[in-house]
Amino acid sequence: MVSVKILKPYYIKADNEFVRIILAYQYFSIVIKQKVYDFIPTEANEIKINRKTKKIENMDVRFAFQHNKDVVNVTMEKLVTLPGFIDQLHSIAQSYYYENEKDELEKIEKVSAAIVGELETMNIRRLIDQALDERDEASFYKLSKLL
């Protein structure tokens, strides 16, 4: 059985269309028949993901892994079938994906509402302070009920 032991990017490059996860030694390992095979960048060394569709674009590449002197090549098609591989990739690239415009607007509206609420609370507190400074008991009690 083949499974992913470690999948960490060496670094990540993003342009308008793709997120490129660059791999290097010690950052990507798989387990085959209880033996750990470490990635070696002799074949491919990057995973290219479309930022809009979140699909892996370079499905035809092969990655080389080495255990002692034994080298095996594993295709991207094989890697995507491994448990957790796709989830790990998406968690790495998540912050680089383009969000759906509707989701983005909802986030902006939530943040705006939170900011407005905080500003209103701060304003009420300032007015309470002003009422205390002026010894205006009626305004103080009226404003205190708004908090």
Last residue of a domain, one of 96, 111, 130: 96
The tens digit of pLDDT for each residue in 70-102 reads 999 999 999 999 888 999 998 999 888 877 556
Kindly state whether residues 43 and 59 are assigned to the same domain.
yes
Last residue of a domain, one of 56, 76, 96: 96
Kindly state whether residues 70 and 87 are assigned to the same domain.
yes
Kindly state whether residues 138 and 91 are assigned to the same domain.
no
Q: How many domains does the chain have?
A: 2
Kindly state whether residues 92 and 113 are assigned to the same domain.
no
Domain that holds residue 110: 101-144
Kindly state whether residues 84 and 109 are assigned to the same domain.
no
The tens digit of pLDDT for each residue in 29-72 reads 999 999 999 999 998 999 999 988 899 999 999 999 999 999 99
Kindly state whether residues 60 and 81 are assigned to the same domain.
yes
Task: Give the residue from 113, 136, 126 showing the smallest Cα distance to 147.
Answer: 126
Kindly state whether residues 46 and 73 are assigned to the same domain.
yes
Q: How far apart are the C-alpha atoms of 7 and 30, rounded to whole Å? A: 9
